[in-house]
Amino acid sequence: MNSQTIAFHPPVKKSDMPQRWGVNEVEALFRLPFADLLYRAQQVHREHFDPNQVQLSTLLSIKTGGCSEDCGYCPQSAFHSTGVEDRKMLALDAVVTAAKAAQQAGADRFCMGAAWREPSEADMLSVVDMVKAVRGLGMETCATLGMLNDEQTEQLKQAGLDYYNHNLDTSPEFYGDVISTRDYQDRLDTLERVRKAGMHVCSGGIVGMGEDLTQRAGLVAQLANMNPYPESVPINNLVKVEGTPLADQADLDPLDFVRTIAVARITMPTARVRLSAGRSQMSDAIQALCFLAGANSIFYGEQLLTTGNPEVERDRALLDKLGMYPFADKH
C-alpha cells in the first residue's frame, strides 16, 4: 500500500453560521460538466482529508424484519412480502462476536441496526449493553434504531454511542411518494434530539428511487443546511428487492450516483461521505470514481442489513489497486 502518508487533520468544528445552500445552487452543481464537478470535489476533499484513506465500517442487523413502517425501498417492512423473516433481537454475545470479527477484518466502526419504528424500554436496555460492549473493544459505535425520544438519546449518550444514524432518505417534496407511516418532521426531530444529547449525527439518503434532479438536489440541500451538517453522510444507491414497491424502478445511471457523491462532498466538506448500499452492483471503476469524488467511508463485510455487500477480499483488492488504505492501518 502507499508508503507515504499525507498529514491528516480531523474534521474541525463547523461554524455556527454555515453556508446556506439553495436547492437551485445544489442543482447547479449537479449540472456541472463531469470533469469540472469531480475536480472541484477533489479539491475540497484534499483540503480536509487524506484522499487515499477510507474508513471501514461494518453493519450488523441486531433485529431483523417485521418493521411497522411502509418505506417503499425496505425489504424489512411488514407491509411487503420479500421473504425476510421477522427475527428476535440478537443476544449480546452474538453481537460482540460479530464486532470482534469485524475488527479483526480491519473495520474500526461498528454499526448496529434494528428494524422497528422506535425502540421499547426493554429494547433500549439491550442496545445500551451492546453499545457498551462494542465500545469496550475500542471500536467506534453507531446505531440506527428508528425514532428516539429525549430519554432514549440520553441513554445512548451515556452508554458511549459515538454516532446515531437516521437517514432523511430523500427530499421533503418526494418523501410522501416513498413513505406514509412517518412524517419528514419526525426524522428531523429525532436528529435534533441526537444533537441535543451530544452525539454525532449520521444521516444521508437513497438515490435512484424515481426522484428527479431537483428532488435529489433537495435532499443534499436539506443535509447541508443542518446546523451543523452531519459528520457522517451515507449515500445509498437503491437496492431493488422483489416484493417492495420500488422493485421495478429503473436503474440510476452510475455517473449520476458519482455526481451525488461529489455534490455531497462539496456541500459538506468535513463530513465522512459514506459509499453505502448498492456497492455490489457497482464496478471497480465506478467505485474508484466515487472515491475520486470524495467518498471516504464504506460499509465493509459480506452484507448490510439484509442485502449483499462486496466481500472483504474484493474490497481489500480494490483499495490495494487504488493505493488506498483504511484509517485503522498504521503507516
Phi, psi of 116 (to 5 degrees): -160, 165
**Known active-site residue 274:** yes
Q: What gap in Å lies between CA 210 and CA 177, rounded to an integer?
A: 9
Residue with cell string 470482534: 100
**Known active-site residue 290:** no
Catalytically annotated residue among 40, 71, 182, 272? 71
Catalytically annotated residue among 182, 216, 274, 279? 274
Catalytically annotated residue among 40, 67, 216, 265? 67
Q: Residue 224 corresponds to which amino acid?
A: A
- Our CA angle for 235, 140, 189, nearest 5°, is 55
Terminal Cα distance for the chain, rounded: 10
Q: Please state, in angstroms and as integers, the Cα–Cα distance from residue 170 to each residue in 92, 142, 186, following that order.
A: 33, 21, 14
Cell numbers for 49: 482529508
Catalytically annotated residue among 109, 193, 202, 265? 202
Element (H, E) at 60: strand 53-63
Catalytically annotated residue among 109, 111, 187, 193? 111
Task: Establish whether the linkage from the previous residue to 11 is cis, with ω within 30° of 0.
Answer: no
Q: What is the largest CA-CA distance in the chain?
A: 52
Catalytically annotated residue among 142, 193, 279, 290? 142
DSSP bridge partners of 200: 163
Return the active site residues.
67, 71, 74, 111, 142, 202, 274
